[in-house]
Structure 1
């Protein structure tokens, strides 16, 4: 059955995800304003502007390192050999999901020791059980954290629906070190922590130049950039935690999603852009189009939204229990998926433009690449094209100076680079 599809409602839902040119430009300008306010007084900005205590690598870094990438639905540990000249190779990989049918290492019922023992077990696999050879570990930790050095980071707040107790307010490398010792791996020394966005920028700078902005566009979303401070303070990558940017105009579906999230009122940009939430926004909008109660349409994955655009809506909607729509109604469901994704891309482009304007100051935007890593960006070509179109809209002819480059495995490579430069 069609479930009461209402075309008027469908058109209204699609319109709710539309960001017109004026609103887009205002969002980019507000993002720049929050960057510049955050540099002066973090209390008046919705961007955290967290120091990473590292600048960019020079491309000549060499050596063997462990890289722990922790922050999405899967955890990866890799042994990476940096060869210098921007070249590298993976010697060993180990990976596992944080949630499956038999366990959940993200929930509030998980003791923190179990979570970090799980990480230590992956280190065991990547080290092939070697408990003797000294090895430095770089840790990409993809949650808002405070740092006073590159060596460790204190978790400020869990995001992406993580809720393990006893970790917020604690130093994550210290907890990891304790777990490694419990597992007999005292030879593995966690020596650096970086946010995944910072790791992507480190990885990109190792392999290409010039690049001053890095972004994650996956389960979560964030942007960082290289800040050149006035005076004698050295250049440093700043993690903006841009998922918390709040000068936005949410629609009714954004507000409904936010209200039932783990932390209402927080991470508003992330909830409007990232893969963790896009399918949920689409499901909420479909419920409105179908006249159904909230929670009756299962959440879609970001990949399913991409499939709707590429292959049509009928099969994917059938999988979610929605059948019998007319050809025109399926087309409206496809247009709604496109609107949800397009808005996400346009908001991300606004962040990029605001950051580029800040870097340019009163001068011209310089030719450069923007490094992006993440499954959502990599696997949904529509988003790449939509970001390009929005940058043209925002930057005009200056958009020709900007290349948005996909940096695969940037989180892992960046962790290895961080371990190297921590010396």
Structure 2
């Protein structure tokens, strides 16, 4: 055998050895995102225990924030205003609640808080300027001669002391408006409405988006006891019965802060690189904001990426369903940010890793839901419908199906039959109107609410 043939054989052996090493590393990374049934059941148990600790005011991962709201009965009627303030786009809706779970949007105004001509989220803006802008928008859907109750879906960390009293703890989502942190956002809105000559509009409710989701879904379905956000972030609210000793109330868990989890190598790196280390651990493992980052960290560990890039949950949705020839769609996503290209085999690895990261997210989220239901109904004897809003649940291919499969895997067919997951993508608006209607109809304990005249 000549030297050329020997060298070719040695090259092939070297290439084979390298491929074997790479496949071994790929499998190790994939295994890092694998959670089996036993581990998920344990997570559900601890989730349940953390709820019960929180109710006893013991140390818990959960904030157990009171909403001061019960579930709607589906017969709420009347015209109500809803303000949806959860990001850089505001929505104001005039909604007619028609009873029997029916409603109609009469008027709607949507406006960005940032344009080329203004920016209402920077620290150059004060509270009065921001809320005056909001009050002007509300004027566009109201008339002077009518009195309106307004429900405000305010999706920022707040400490609530009554249905219409919520103090902003800290701005998130790059907001930095001066004079709002530590203040009652409903009082700021009320003052702005008065300044703008709209004293006929009375803000009576401030709610979180998870609470809004459960209200909107429960208005149409009396088996809904849980509302959740599965999108850029993750959080869940549920109806706490207090064992019949007190009037039931919707509780916002702030479940993204659940911390009793085994972090893998990439979770730890992501947490250390985040703004708030050691906080929102559960959210960092399951929410759309972080899934693309986890994929990038894996590819860097494997030596496939040499530079930082940004992959969104929308990118991941394209990647995991890429059936195009030679992974054309996935190539386009990467080529938009880097000049290097991957082999077809490497693209197949990228797709598989993305699938595993998304699968873990759905399975962990399901374990959390099981923990909540376990607290509410230990034997899973009753129907429990879970309303979910958010792009991850609504738009990530296969995500909803993964949740349902995990329920069956962990609970068995019989118990899983009592659990139904439904999409509720209008909650932030409709929920605010329903909260205002519940206030107006007086279906709240008198010691749990402060009337507008007392604020």
* Same fold? TM cut 0.5: yes
Say which SS state the counterpart of residue 133 (structure 1) adopts: coil
Say which SS state the counterpart of residue 207 (structure 1) adopts: coil
Contact 2:73–2:222 (Cα < 8 Å) also in 1: no
Aligned partner of 1:345 in structure 2 is 362
Which residue of 203, 209, 216 maps to 1:190?
A: 203
Cα deviation for residue 301 of structure 1 reads: 1.6
CA change 1:63–1:318 in 2 (3 A) is same
Which residue of 429, 433, 437 maps to 1:416?
A: 433
Q: Does 1:86 align with 2:101?
A: yes
Residue correspondence of structure 1 range 177-256 to structure 2 within 5 A = 177-230=190-243, 232-256=245-269
CA change 1:16–1:72 in 2 (3 A) is farther
TM-score w.r.t. length of structure 2 = 0.84
Tell me whether 97-106 or 75-84 shows the greater mean CA deviation.
97-106
Which residue of 77, 94, 107 maps to 2:92?
A: 77
Q: Does 1:169 align with 2:185?
A: no
Say which SS state the counterpart of residue 210 (structure 2) adopts: helix
Residue correspondence of structure 1 range 106-121 to structure 2 within 5 A = 106=121, 110-121=125-136
Contact 1:11–1:332 (Cα < 8 Å) also in 2: no
Aligned partner of 2:270 in structure 1 is 257
Measure, in 2, the Cα distance between the counterparts of 1:386 and 1:355. Answer: 18
Tell me whether 242-251 or 80-89 shows the greater mean CA deviation.
242-251
Say which SS state the counterpart of residue 151 (structure 2) adopts: strand
Cα deviation for residue 100 of structure 1 reads: 6.0
Measure, in 2, the Cα distance between the counterparts of 1:40 and 1:324. Answer: 55
Say which SS state the counterpart of residue 84 (structure 2) adopts: strand
Aligned partner of 2:71 in structure 1 is 56
CA change 1:323–1:381 in 2 (3 A) is same
Contact 2:257–2:282 (Cα < 8 Å) also in 1: yes
TM-score w.r.t. length of structure 1 = 0.90
Say which SS state the counterpart of residue 242 (structure 2) adopts: coil
Contact 1:151–1:191 (Cα < 8 Å) also in 2: yes
Contact 2:321–2:397 (Cα < 8 Å) also in 1: no
CA change 1:365–1:154 in 2 (3 A) is farther
Q: Deviation per CA, 1:349-391, whole angstroms, max 9, x where unpaired? A: 0110001111113x44312311111222111232101111221
Tell me whether 381-390 or 255-264 shows the greater mean CA deviation.
255-264
Say which SS state the counterpart of residue 382 (structure 2) adopts: coil
Residue correspondence of structure 1 range 337-376 to structure 2 within 5 A = 337-361=354-378, 363-376=379-392
Tell me whether 68-77 or 335-344 shows the greater mean CA deviation.
68-77
Aligned partner of 1:400 in structure 2 is 417
Contact 1:279–1:302 (Cα < 8 Å) also in 2: yes
Aligned partner of 1:310 in structure 2 is 321
Say which SS state the counterpart of residue 161 (structure 2) adopts: coil
Measure, in 1, the Cα distance between the counterparts of 2:117 and 2:346. Answer: 39
| Long gaps (5+) in structure 2 | 1-20, 441-455
Cα deviation for residue 190 of structure 1 reads: 1.0
Q: Deviation per CA, 1:309-360, whole angstroms, max 9, x where unpaired? A: 1225222222232642111111111112112211211111011000111111
Contact 1:72–1:220 (Cα < 8 Å) also in 2: no
Measure, in 2, the Cα distance between the counterparts of 1:99 and 1:254. Answer: 33
Measure, in 2, the Cα distance between the counterparts of 1:120 and 1:281. Answer: 41
The size of the alignment, in residue pairs, is 414
Which residue of 44, 47, 56 maps to 1:28?
A: 44
Cα deviation for residue 54 of structure 1 reads: 0.9
Contact 2:363–2:403 (Cα < 8 Å) also in 1: yes
| Long gaps (5+) in structure 1 | none
Say which SS state the counterpart of residue 108 (structure 2) adopts: strand
Aligned partner of 1:382 in structure 2 is 398
Q: Does 1:19 align with 2:35?
A: yes
Measure, in 1, the Cα distance between the counterparts of 2:39 and 2:239. Answer: 27
Cα deviation for residue 279 of structure 1 reads: 2.3
Measure, in 2, the Cα distance between the counterparts of 1:35 and 1:49. Answer: 8
Aligned partner of 2:168 in structure 1 is 155
Aligned partner of 1:301 in structure 2 is 312
